[in-house]
Amino acid sequence: MTHMITISLCMIVKNEEKLLARCLDSVADIMDELIIVDTGSTDRTKEIAARYTDKIYDFEWIGDFAAARNFAFSKATMEYIYSADADEALDEENREIFRRLKENLLPEIDIVQMYYANQLDFGTIYNFDRELRPKLFKRVRTFRWEEPIHEQIVLEPVIYDSDVAILHLPDSNHKNRDLAAFARMASEGKRLSKRLHNIYAKEAFSEEYVTLLFAGDILFDPNYSVMAKVLQNGGDIGNGIAPDLIGEMQSADIMMLNNEFAYSDRGAPTPEKQFTFRARPDSVAYLTDMGVDIVSLANNHAYDYGEQALLDSLQILQAEGIPYVGAGVNEQEASAPVYFIINDMKIAFISATQIERLDNPDTKGATETSPGVFRCFNGEKLMQTVAQAKEESDFVVVYIHWGTENQEETDWLQNKQAPELVEAGADLIIGDHPHILQRIEIIDGVPVIYSLGNFWFNSKPLDTGMVKVTISEEGLQSFQFIPCQQVNCRTSMLEGEEKSRVLGEMRRMSGNVQIDEDGYVLMP
């Protein structure tokens, strides 16, 4: 005869008078025990909870969801614990599925996952409408929560994926709450775990749209002209990048460029490599001065001084608070997207490199057990990463190191992978590596700039530029190319005739793509 399990519902609440009864009405008769942990309600939440249970506990809120859930779990006495939130509910169909699950659950199951559904209609920060989440836990395993937000259970239990679908029906989103939790951790000097490191909450300058800004290659190596000149003139980055250009970078909500060197004072240059780049560790502060929010390390110089210098770079960027993408301690980290949650949107940034198209390149690709860059000469892994990010994000940016140096025409692999990236789910493609500007193309409504060229890299007079896009919950709103020029180790924005000249060159290269006098691209 099948043994019917017993279940304790554990819920943490604060000011949930509008939602609590709806939730408990939908699940109370399935549960054997109801445990409500209040973290400081000032409304009728506890009064409503008392209609259903006398097991109501107070817990002082410390900005840590894991701590509150651990406290709630400690009060449970039944065989299993159902972790609930007040903004959830079960409809009648899923109540019946839950009842059958309770009657027939096998004893070896430690965790039951249930579908979290209907999120897109209720102002959440997620773009997926249905995903499996762990919701029912065997109590005797003494499960422990970790992470102050986006909390998760520690252990490797036996997991069963059920058919129960929980409706997520919030009356507001939680962006300010999540930002406050991140800010509290920062103020207390706590580091984010690896799990949370690739997710960043950010506030936009505008509530209507988000501005993304992109530039190409930079170089901070003091042995080369651009940084040497800055250091000779007191170390002010404004001597290398014009102040109005820095102002433009700082005014973007998210600014990204290509970090084409290692930060380290260790390692040895790659033997027989013509150019090898390494910057002093303290020069990473220039990124903050410039308003940079994220860098790509997927290039052919991040590994110039070997594995140790690359690992130093990762640690130095983390210490400065600059997210990186396209390299890591292993393939999992190198290929992982970085996500920004901003204006209720989740934006994914992915970076990879095709360059050094050899079986044994100088710039090592990351493996399961060794550090390196995210290589995409074979694009299968990159396309999988983009497709997965598309499922989890509102907007996907691919920043890719590709093309042939100093060649205006796009090469065969750029032409092959660009439409593949669009098909996989990219919403914007930014290219670099050729050192010069290349054309703009629109592929099925997705803008691609094949190369932004050097941004601030050497003393050579060179046309360059930035791409500025605005996005909203409806998608891409504008795409603008901002003409710039690198001359005598200094990069500036162009105006007047020189601006018009560079825009004319972009029109010539870009064929049928229409670009107006301010650099805005007419989207089809």
Instruction: Give per-residue pLDDT as tens, 198-224.
Output: 788 788 899 899 999 999 999 999 999
| Per-position DSSP letters for 472-507, written without gaps between them | ETTEEEEEEEEEEEEETTEEEE--HHHHHHHHHHHH
Residue predicted with more confidence, 225 or 150: 225
| Per-position DSSP letters for 300-352, written without gaps between them | SSTTTTHHHHHHHHHHHHHHHT--EESEESSHHHHH--EEEEETTEEEEEEEE
Q: Pinpoint the alpha helices (H) of 368-491.
A: 380-392, 412-424
Residue 129 above 70 pLDDT? no
Instruction: Give per-residue pLDDT as tens, 340-356.
Output: 999 889 999 999 999 87
Q: Place 265 in a pLDDT band, splitting at 50, 70 and 90.
A: very high
Distance CA 40, CA 385 (A): 41
β-strand 130-138 against 111-117: which pairing, if any? antiparallel
Q: What angle do CA 237, 243, 294 make, to 5 degrees?
A: 65
Rounded mean pLDDT, 465-491:
96
Q: Place 125 in a pLDDT band, splitting at 50, 70 and 90.
A: very low
CB 263 within 8 A of CB 281: yes
DSSP 3-state of 161: strand
Residue 116 above 80 pLDDT? yes
Q: For the chain, how far is it from start to end, CA to CA, in angstroms?
A: 65
Weakest mean pLDDT among 65-79, 118-132, 320-334, 380-394: 118-132
Structure confidence at residue 495 (pLDDT): 97
Residue 308 above 70 pLDDT? yes
Rounded mean pLDDT, 331-337:
94
Structure confidence at residue 146 (pLDDT): 78
Structure confidence at residue 172 (pLDDT): 63
Q: What is the mean pLDDT of the chain?
A: 91
> Residue 170 carries which DSSP code?
-
Structure confidence at residue 21 (pLDDT): 97
Residue predicted with more confidence, 325 or 179: 325
Weakest mean pLDDT among 52-61, 182-191, 478-487: 182-191
CB 164 within 8 A of CB 114: yes
Structure confidence at residue 203 (pLDDT): 85
Residue 142 above 70 pLDDT? no
Structure confidence at residue 286 (pLDDT): 97
3-state secondary structure 511-524: CCCCECCCCEECCC
Distance CA 32, CA 77 (A): 10
Closest CA to 105 of 169, 161, 180, 152: 161
Instruction: Give per-residue pLDDT as tens, 148-161.
Output: 777 777 666 788 99
Residue predicted with more confidence, 393 or 185: 393
Residue 69 above 90 pLDDT? yes
Structure confidence at residue 176 (pLDDT): 58
Closest CA to 94 of 77, 110, 82: 82
Residue 63 above 90 pLDDT? no
Residue 117 above 90 pLDDT? no
b/e per residue 425-435 (b: at least 16 CB within 10 A): bbbbbbbbbbb
Angle, helix 92-104 to helix 20-27, in steps of 10 degrees: 50
Instruction: Give per-residue pLDDT as tens, 17-52.
Output: 999 999 999 999 999 999 999 999 999 999 999 999
Q: Place 170 in a pLDDT band, splitting at 50, 70 and 90.
A: confident
DSSP 3-state of 53: coil
CB 312 within 8 A of CB 173: no
Rounded mean pLDDT, 266-273:
93
| Per-position DSSP letters for 241-253, written without gaps between them | B-HHHHHHHHTSS
Structure confidence at residue 148 (pLDDT): 77
Rounded mean pLDDT, 228-238:
94
Residue 522 above 70 pLDDT? yes
Residue 463 above 80 pLDDT? yes
Residue 417 above 50 pLDDT? yes
Angle, helix 412-424 to helix 380-392, in steps of 10 degrees: 30
- Please state the φ and ψ torsions of residue 390, each to the nearest 5 degrees: -60, -35
Distance CA 465, CA 469 (A): 13
> Residue 437 carries which DSSP code?
B
* Cβ within 8 Å of residue 352, ≥6 positions away: 298, 326, 335, 373, 374, 375, 376, 382, 385, 398, 400, 401
- Find residue 84's DSSP bridge partners: 11
CB 394 within 8 A of CB 473: yes
Rounded mean pLDDT, 447-466:
95
